[in-house]
Copies of this chain bind each other. A is one copy, B any other.
Amino acid sequence: MNLDTLLPNLGEWLRGTGPESDVVVSTRIRLARNLADYPFTGRATAAQKGEIVTRVKEAVGRVELPFKLDYHDVPGMTVLDRQFLVERQLISRELAAVLEGPRGVAFDAKESASVMVNEEDHLRLQVLRSGFALDDAWADIDKLDDALEARLPYAFHSQFGYLTACPTNVGTGLRGSVMLHLPALGITKQIDKVFRALQKINLAVRGGHGEGSRAFGDLYQISNQVTLGKSEQKILGEIKEVILTILQYERQARAVLMKERRQAEQDRVARALGTLGSATMITAEETMELLSVVRLGINLRLIDDVPATAVNQLFIQTQAAHLQKLVGHALDGEERNAARAKYLKTRLRELGSHR
């Protein structure tokens, strides 16, 4: 399979049509699993990792679910393809570049489910959904997990639950994360207060692009830190409750914005579109910041000629690997900034915005 066929697509989770999609970009659940008969990935030999790949590949191929997963080996992939899959959120940076030996990923055509093999754990199952959809994502990943467990002997301890390479994942092995777009809490400077409250109740907050990444474009991932001693339903229920509160805060902040500085906000949105459509050099970070302003403008109905889906797509398509695939060859940093600006200009023009 040539990954380039994915290029014009948009992962289902990015359509921006899911529940509460004015604030919630996407929902992700992942499960960490290991095979009982092998050492964890970090201590397994290349031969053992090869066997794990073979066994998972076979099991994945036999899974009968509404979505079909195709397996791809990572070691044979170009650096660009790996980065591309990272940007699509189908594999982690670690699987792409840090880890060694036999490893890979299986995912479906809609990019809503994936299974990484020989990441930190032997298996990392993931389901991605558009909008706020923890229940649906749980239903899907639970089925996928059952189907794989029927064919693979999971490392499971009657007292602790699923065993994992890192103790922080033991138990359910579950991490639920919700990506939120919180521009109004940013503008009204309430975001830090919200996040301090989250940390007290053991929820982690990260930038939109995974562990350790800075927050760009007002995108934040909120996820559980505790995996042990609670049922999956309880963990997900706790996340859900918190997200609903943050949702309410963000919407209140947006209402205040619209009441107190509608004209200024209108201007900010118009200028963001103007800059995106006219710059001849632009970094990924600035692009995200400006797209964030546009996304808010759409949700506040300050503009109506740019579809939310297009903005979600631009968030991904303007990232380094996507850009290089679109252009068809490797680009250095400066060249990427020029190519990014050109792509944005063309796309915004296509969107028919003769503003």
Name the B residues within 8 Å of A341 (CB-CB).
267
CA distance A317 to B263 in the complex (A): 23
Residues of B within 8 A of A274 (CB): 274-275, 277-279
A264 at interface by CB-CB < 8 Å: yes
CB distance from A100 to the nearest CB of B (A): 39
Q: Interface code A272-313, partner B: CB below 8 Å = 1, 0 otherwise?
A: 011101111110000000000000000000000000000000
Query: Smallest distance from the beta carbon of A275 to chain B beta carbons, Å?
Result: 5
Set of chain B residues within 8 Å of A266, measured between Cβ atoms: 280-281
Give A352 Cβ to nearest chain B Cβ, in Å.
13
CA distance A271 to B273 in the complex (A): 11
Tell me how many chains of this kind the complex includes: 2
Q: Which residues on the B side are within 8 Å of A273 (C-beta)?
A: 278
Shortest beta-carbon distance from A353 to chain B in Å: 10
User: Considering the chains assembled together, what is the distance between the CA atoms of A271 and B276 in angstroms?
Assistant: 9
Number of interface residues of A (CB under 8 A): 19
- Which DSSP category, helix, strand, loop or mixed, fits chain A's interface? helix
Give the CA-CA distance A266 to B271 in the complex, in Å. Answer: 18
Give chain B nearest CB distance to A306 CB in angstroms.
13
Which residue from chain B places its CB closest to the CB of A265 in the assembled complex? B280
A228 within 8 A of B: no
**A141: shortest Cβ distance to chain B, in Å?**
43
- Which of B270, B277, B281 contacts A264 (CB under 8 A)? B281
Contact residues in B for A264 (Cβ distance below 8 Å): 281
Cβ of A355 under 8 Å from chain B = yes
Q: Say yes or no for A338: interface residue by CB 8 A criterion.
A: yes
CB-CB under 8 A from A277, the residues of chain B are 274, 278
CB nearest neighbor in B for A302: B280
Residues B278 and A263 in contact, CB atoms below 8 Å apart:
no
Which residues on B sit within 8 Å (CB–CB) of A263? Answer: 280-281, 334, 338
Report A236-280 CB contacts with B as 1/0, cut-off 8 Å.
000000000000000000000000000110110011011101111
Nearest 8 CB-CB pairings of A with B: A274-B278, A274-B274, A267-B281, A267-B280, A270-B280, A270-B278, A266-B280, A271-B279
List 8 other contacts, CB 8 Å, given A271-B275, A275-B275: A263-B281, A267-B282, A270-B278, A270-B280, A271-B278, A271-B279, A274-B274, A277-B278
* Residues of A participating in the B interface, judged by any CB pair closer than 8 Å: 263-264, 266-267, 270-271, 273-275, 277-282, 334, 338, 341, 355
